[in-house]
Amino acid sequence: MKSKFIKGLALASLITTSPLYAADYVIDTKGAHASIQFRISHLGTSWLTGRFNTFSGEFSYDAANPAASKVNVDIDVNSFDSNHAERDKHIRGDEYLDVAKHPKASFVSSSYTPNEDGSGVMKGMLTLYGTSKEISIDVKKVGEGKDPWGGYRAGFEGTTKIQPKDFGMNYQLGPAAETVYLELHIEGIRK
């Protein structure tokens, strides 16, 4: 009886201290350890790059069952930043993002398909410009572990591309600029 009790305590200890179980994380935007960046071709000669400065979200991750992973992110579209005030004002205006009518964007995952190498594909609904469409994000785990402040963190990177016209944006920037490439860096603090 005593042996079973000790084994039970040892098992419970492993379950509560091991990172190999489902956990919920809040995306660390306060510490600026997450980013949503974009790039779009400028006249086919270079890249216009930028980011969304304000967003929030959370995710669930289970190293033993990555297929159960989930994520949701809310983006303040008015935080669009290409490091050029006049251009940002134009892009936020009614000809393109129209932040007065569509101030928020969001992504809510619907499935995650892991690959054998630790990468995977996250599918979900991106809502932008008042339109929701399913997109796929190529995801790679960067790492996880204890942080110096007594918490536990997990980080991922992802890439995807979208075409603004698919979301109802009709402002033409030329054929070289039909695709927006998104690069996501997400670090979460376990709740």
CB 53 within 8 A of CB 78: no
As given in the structure block, the two tokens for residue 15 are 């379950």
- The pLDDT tens digits for 41-98 are 998 899 999 999 999 999 999 989 999 999 999 999 999 999 999 999 999 998 889 9
Domain ranges of the chain: 19-190
Predicted TM-score of the model (pTM): 0.85
Check pLDDT > 60 for residue 2. no
The residues pairing with 5 across neighbouring beta strands, listed in sequence order, are none
| CATH architecture type of domain 19-190 | Beta Barrel (2.40)
